[in-house]
Amino acid sequence: MLEELCQNMVLTSLDHGKILRSMDARLGALSGEEDTQPDPDLIAALQEQIRQCETEVLKCASPRAVLRILPAEEIQPILSGHDICRLLSGCTEAVLMAVTLGSELEKRLMIEEVTNMSNAYVLDLCASQAVEQAADDLEQRLRVQILREEKYLTNRFSPGYGDYPIQMQGLLLDYLNAGRAIGLTLTPTNLMVPRKSITAVLGISPEPKPDLYGNCTHCPLQTKCAWRARGERCYQS
Amino acid sequence: MNKKQLLLLDGAMGTMLQKAGLKSGEKPELFGMEHPDVVAGIHRSYIEAGSDVIYANTFGVNSRKYEGCPIPVPDVIAANIATARQAADSCADRKVRVALDVGPIGELMEPLGTLSFEEAYECFREVVCAGEQAGADLVIFETMTDLNEVRAAVLAAKENTSLQIWVTMTFEKNGRTFAGTDPEAMALTLDALGVDAVGVNCSLGPEDLQPIVKRILTRTALPVIVKPNAGLPDPRTGLYAMTPERFAREMSAYLPVGIHILGGCCGTRPSFIEALRRMVRGDSSAQNPEDASACADALTDGEADAYDAVDRGILNGVCSAGRVVNLDGKVHTIGERINPTGKKRFQQALRDRDMNYIMKCAIDQTEAGADILDINVGLPGADEAALMTDVVRAVQSVTDLPLQIDSTKPEVIEAGLRAACGRVIVNSVNAEEETCRKILPIVKKYGSCVVGLALQKSGMPKDAAERIENVETILKFTDEYGIPRRDVIIDCLTLTISAQQDQAMETLHALEYVSKNYDVHCTLGVSNISFGLPQRKQITVSFLTQAMFCGLDLPIINPNQLEIMDAVASYRALSCQDESCSAYIERFANRQDTPVSAPAGSVSKAASGDLASGANTASVSGQAENITPGSEASDSASSAAHMLHQAILRGLPDEVRLQTQTLLESRSAMQIIEEYLIPALDEVGDRYEKQQLFLPQLINAANAASAGFDLIKDRIAKTDGESVSRGTIVLATVEGDIHDIGKNIVKVVLENYGYTVIDLGRDVPPQKIRDVAMEQNVKLVGLSALMTTTLPAMEKTIQVLREAGCTAQVVVGGAVVTAQYAQEIGADFYAKDAKETVDAARKVFGA
């Protein structure tokens, strides 16, 4: 089942709205306040730039994923801190997940950073959006699969969220054999290479669980988040 | 060993260990130390099944994976080798060899990751030395995905042990490894480095690996190893479902093509090796005895006969990890632009270690269609070997063209060969014995191709005959060092016709003779021919065409000159090298004849918009259309000033360049910067603050302004005038962090405000930042960190700077950095974006 899900990783388009929103988090310009409205030509030019970068990202990205299910009695080693325990409490199994867009996209980003920083910036945002969508898509398909078995998937939780230490990254990748399976590795400082990658833990529960972490409490950026400052949330599109 | 005997390897170790009780997250090699009997049992069952070579349980041992482990790496290796050794030696009926099994280090190397070539080399050195000492018969580097990591491994083994070296890499179904290595590139590079066997393991089943193995066979005469998985895992269960019999049947397809080293990877068990043995015994007639003998010879003598390769129709070539250029007699161009000779701006870039400038040169030539890039860093007084290393790595981070290392100094050449991933060309030796004896051993060691200049110390050859005489001398030496003729590239020397007019024909005569009579390739630095003449391109193109007709297959040219690349494209079409003229048609199908004068009113769409560009500046290829002056008079300075301002706001670099040029006729460099460039940038910054502009447009404007700055810098470099820099700033993404896009944005904006930026890159140790800041006596250091985990490195850097008594002020920024945190760690400024970094710079440098 898991292999099958991982073999069907495709990206066909990116959510331009989200890319535009993440442009620099200064969204006053888009929300039509005061006299800060940028002229429509400008937005059109930007959208064209996003379109071109999207094409480039879709061309260079090769989304790959690996999943592994751990029975409850084997999850002890991946637990650390309060939040992950809360996520997995009452769960019969945990799903480990890793998704990457591969090294060719990384190389493309490096070239663009030398030749055209403006495009590099937009390309980088598009790539981030792409890996987010790849992970969302995999999660969604997994959720459907689990539902068929009349079980429920919790939401996705990654090292670095809440009090789940980023140092767990190495263990998750080891468990997933991610280097061999999808070419995903870590630096000694626990950063993933290729950079456009996501790891996460999800629980499988016999009962539906409320979305514990679909808010800002887990986010390291909450104190300086421009969205929050405006009363918006990045996860509400 | 019977020369015609096939070699059977073993099957999977990991899955066998898991069955025997290895837990998730537990290190298999430590498990092996604790349970030698279990591991020995696995080895014995493979030997009984028929394995001639067993892989010791050492795949994952290295100092980086074992950091924090109380047992030293050599001890772990020794224990596991001893277990395998014992099992092998207890086999009574035949000699079983023990391979030191070495997998990837587990971290990605630079430029994508942070592991340096030298660190990788050290890591492998420890492992191979321990393996040899413990009694391994050979070393196998397997499951590798990065060709550069393999190079570090192979060099470590070659330079520190006398073990036989086998390598297998892991390819995906798309024919590449995760890191983007091609099978052909692997075979060419490793054959050149002198390994003893190459091949594939893991990822796919025997049948699916066939296309990849075939590609390897086109490039090397070395014995080829095939160690596939037991098919693909079942998508529903994740288990390997292939039977041993099916596995053996699929493997039998490899015997007729001359594959003699067979084994199994994930999902295979002793029963698979057993089935292989039965297949091999029953099907020995399927072997091609000639291939078998070549294979066995190579294995026992340690080296394949290079001339053999020609007989077997193996294709020669040079390559990077991801691209092969065939040396097949067809014309392939070598880009000459990475060379400081006569170029002040390039010299400056080398002196400043401004790798971005050099990387741009590489990207431009790649996009212009060059096939190979020449790298020359000859700069009097500089540490050329270190420069060569840095430049080669920088260039390979942005292009996959194969390289030509251009120097006459052995230490510089070796630095280049060590740094360059792939198989390269060395440029050059000449007919002097002393030169040949110094450089050819290096060429031989790395298995590169080599350019021989038909030249002697006594001076330039007078005529074709003298050139040919010199060529004979060079070939005598290359033969002596065992460098095959097909790896030799002869340069019959281009002399300037404005000085020595009669030499052009002598060059062509010699070229024709050499290309017809020796089995070598020919190169020429073509551009030289027209030096000192008007309309140089006319002469250069004409000479180039004649030379290609005479047998020049590797012209060294400026690929950025359209006419030259056009001439090459035309020649390829005329000589049938470009089949069906398809490349020619593709090149010229949409080409318009250049109009004699620009059509009136050819104002681009963007010019009519109010601000910052239409789609044109957004193009990924980075090509902005030019706007030509409309009805306004363009020759007056005030008009130029206005248009310059507008061009910056709209982000149009070509237009900025044009107007800056006009202004330079009547204004000083400083005046243009202070009165036009900076105010225009300020206006852009202001609109950005007011949220009327987005970051991409701010960067576009900065980039456009940089076209003006570059022009001014060029002008100043040419006249040796004083610098226009408003101050020097060191920028770095702190140690451990590899997210540097924010830092790079800040860099572009700072530079376009006229500051000189020394960009130390990403993952920069505090000590390096301190050293550069103090050596260059800079007043401002900018530090960036994206992740919470790398923030401590930011704090440490500031601490190191302060402790050393560095007086530079520090500005910090990055996603998770806050003003409060900046204050806590003792930074002088916090900047939330590029604009605020400029504000900080203004406070430090004034104005």
> What's the domain range around B224?
7-310
**Alpha-carbon dihedral angle through residues A222, A224, A227, A228, given to the nearest 10 degrees:** 50
* pLDDT band of A36, cuts 50, 70, 90: low
Interface test with B, best of A123, A182, A185 (most B CBs within 10 A): A185
User: What is the gyration radius of the CA atoms in chain A, in angstroms?
Assistant: 19
The Cα B670–Cα B710 span in angstroms is: 13
Do B543 and B613 lie in a common domain?
A: no
Do B198 and B118 lie in a common domain?
A: yes
Do B125 and B240 lie in a common domain?
A: yes
Taking the Cβ of residue A104 and every Cβ of chain B, the question of whether any pair is shorter than 8 Å is answered with: yes
Task: Mark yes or no for CB contact B235/A7 under 8 Å.
Answer: yes
Do B483 and B627 lie in a common domain?
A: no
Q: What are phi and psi of B164, to 5 degrees?
A: -65, 145
Question: Is residue B323 situated within a structural domain?
Answer: no
Question: Is residue B322 situated within a structural domain?
Answer: no
pLDDT of residue B288: 43
- For chain B, what is the domain count? 4
- Within 8 A of A3 by CB-CB distance, chain B residues are 233-236, 238
Residue B598 Cα, gap to closest chain A Cα (Å): 26
Taking the Cβ of residue B816 and every Cβ of chain A, the question of whether any pair is shorter than 8 Å is answered with: yes
Query: What ipTM was estimated for this complex?
Result: 0.89
CATH of the domain at B839: 3.40.50.280
Nearest to B106 among A104, A179, A182 (CB): A179
| Sign for the pseudo-dihedral over CA of A100, A105, A111, A112 | negative
Do B461 and B582 lie in a common domain?
A: yes
pLDDT of residue A53: 96
pLDDT of residue B201: 97
Question: Is residue B748 situated within a structural domain?
Answer: yes
With 90 as the cut, is the pLDDT of residue A219 above it? Answer: no
pLDDT of residue B745: 87
Interface test with A, best of B168, B358, B691, B697 (most A CBs within 10 A): B691
Taking the Cβ of residue A111 and every Cβ of chain B, the question of whether any pair is shorter than 8 Å is answered with: yes
pLDDT of residue B723: 65
SS3 (DSSP) at B347: helix
CA nearest neighbour of B212 among B222, B227, B199: B199
Question: Is residue B596 situated within a structural domain?
Answer: no
Pair type for strands A197-205 and A152-153: antiparallel
pLDDT tens for each residue of A121-176: 999 999 999 999 999 999 999 999 999 999 999 999 999 888 899 999 999 999 99
pLDDT of residue A213: 61
pLDDT of residue B833: 85
Question: Is residue B486 situated within a structural domain?
Answer: yes
The Cα B29–Cα B799 span in angstroms is: 40
Do B130 and B160 lie in a common domain?
A: yes
The residue out of B264, B279, B310 marking a domain boundary is B310
**Closest chain A residue by Cα to residue B789:** A189
Taking the Cβ of residue A59 and every Cβ of chain B, the question of whether any pair is shorter than 8 Å is answered with: no
CB of B106 within 8 A of CB of B162?
A: no
Task: Mark yes or no for CB contact A24/B694 under 8 Å.
Answer: yes
Residue B266 Cα, gap to closest chain A Cα (Å): 11
pLDDT tens for each residue of B414-437: 999 999 999 999 999 999 999 999
Q: Collect the ranges in chain B with pLDDT lower than 50.
A: 1-4, 284-310, 598-634
Q: Judged by CB atoms within 8 Å, which residues 245-274 of B form the interface with A?
A: none
The Cα B705–Cα B709 span in angstroms is: 6
With 60 as the cut, is the pLDDT of residue A29 above it? Answer: no
Question: Is residue B163 situated within a structural domain?
Answer: yes
Q: Judged by CB atoms within 8 Å, which residues 460-499 of B form the interface with A?
A: none
CATH of the domain at B614: 1.10.1240.10
User: Which tokens hold the place of B471?
Assistant: 């060529």
In chain B, what is the straight-line distance between the N-terminal and C-terminal CA atoms, in Å? 80
Taking the Cβ of residue A66 and every Cβ of chain B, the question of whether any pair is shorter than 8 Å is answered with: no
The residue out of B718, B750, B782 marking a domain boundary is B718
With 80 as the cut, is the pLDDT of residue A27 above it? Answer: no
pTM (2 decimals)? 0.88
DSSP states of B527-573 as a string?
GGGGTTSSSHHHHHHHHHHHHHHTT--EEEE-TT-HHHHHHHHHHHH
- Within 8 A of B618 by CB-CB distance, chain A residues are 45-46, 48-49, 52, 118-119
Do B306 and B255 lie in a common domain?
A: yes
Among A18-27, A28-37, B824-833, name the one with the lowest average pLDDT.
A28-37
pLDDT of residue B619: 36
Question: Is residue B594 situated within a structural domain?
Answer: no
Nearest to B737 among A46, A112, A191 (CB): A191
SS3 (DSSP) at B335: strand
Task: Mark yes or no for CB contact B356/A49 under 8 Å.
Answer: no
Do B158 and B279 lie in a common domain?
A: yes
Q: Judged by CB atoms within 8 Å, which residues 126-155 of A form the interface with B?
A: none
Please indicate whether residue B596 or residue A74 has the higher confidence score (pLDDT): A74
Q: How far is CA B744 from CA A53, A121, B355, in A?
A: 18, 9, 13
pLDDT of residue B458: 85
Do B688 and B789 lie in a common domain?
A: no
Note the maximum CA span of chain A: 59
Pair type for strands B488-491 and B521-525: parallel
Do B296 and B339 lie in a common domain?
A: no
Do B68 and B104 lie in a common domain?
A: yes
pLDDT of residue A218: 67
- Within 8 A of B14 by CB-CB distance, chain A residues are none
The Cα B492–Cα B467 span in angstroms is: 6
Task: Mark yes or no for CB contact A42/B236 under 8 Å.
Answer: no
CATH of the domain at B259: 3.20.20.330
Determine if the peptide bond prior to A158 is cis (ω within 30°). Answer: no
User: Which tokens hold the place of B70?
Assistant: 């109380």
Among A21-30, A208-217, B263-272, name the one with the lowest average pLDDT.
A21-30
Do B382 and B301 lie in a common domain?
A: no
Interface test with A, best of B17, B23, B24 (most A CBs within 10 A): B24
pLDDT of residue B286: 41
CA nearest neighbour of A66 among A146, A172, A221, A166: A172
CATH of the domain at B575: 3.20.20.20
The Cα B560–Cα B63 span in angstroms is: 46
Determine if the peptide bond prior to B111 is cis (ω within 30°). Answer: yes
What domains appear along chain A, each with residue ranges and CATH number?
2-208 (3.40.109.40)
Question: Is residue B317 situated within a structural domain?
Answer: no
The Cα A53–Cα A124 span in angstroms is: 9
- Within 8 A of A107 by CB-CB distance, chain B residues are 112, 180, 397-398
Interface contacts (A, B; CB < 8 Å): 211
